[in-house]
Amino acid sequence: MSRRKPDTSREKPSAYNKALGLLVRREQSERELRAKLSRGGYASDEAEAALDALKAHEYQSDSRFAELLARSRAANGYGPRRIAAELKSHGIEDAEIASALAGLDCDWLDLARRQLQRRYGRKTATEVQERARRAAFLLRRGFDGSTVSVLTRADIGDPGDEFD
């Protein structure tokens, strides 16, 4: 079996074409694209020009990215705090995060209840330690303290205040 040598004669695509190719695969934030272009060896001025052109043609939109990611994460059972933190890590502005979360039209209490039932079944926790375990699970999923308290009857504060 003979191995093919990689074709090194091809030219590197322009920053615009590279970013467009990445966007064809999935929606990406501006920060993600900028980082990928930088790792790909593109000059910062060429990368910025490409990103500006992509935004001008509406091929790249941080608000669209935020809406899609928020919808996907909520469908997977994550709470608003976790979704907001992930969007923040992608460089999405606070106003766009708030807009994406508001656009979900999601009943967070019902979603948290379903996640709790999926994980622990319908049996209610009677012991303090078990309620605390369930509360910790929901907090890790990104639900706020008041939602978690209602569902688990656990005595917790709102540990997510530092993220606000």
Domains in the chain, ordered, with CATH? 13-60 (1.10.10.10), 61-106 (1.10.10.10), 108-163 (1.10.10.10)
Least confident of 34-38, 56-60, 86-90, 159-163: 159-163
Q: Which of 137, 76, 138 is nearest to 106 (CA)?
A: 76
Highest mean pLDDT among 41-45, 83-87, 113-117: 83-87
* Cβ 63 vs Cβ 125: under 8 Å: no
pLDDT tens digits for 22-57? 999 999 999 999 999 999 999 999 999 999 999 999
According to the per-residue pLDDT averaged within each range, which of 7-16, 99-108, 146-155 is highest?
Answer: 99-108
Percentage, residues of the chain above pLDDT 90: 73
Is residue 163 over pLDDT 50? no
Task: Please state the pTM of the whole predicted model.
Answer: 0.81
Contacts of 20 (CB under 8 A, 6+ apart): 54, 59
Cβ 81 vs Cβ 143: under 8 Å: yes
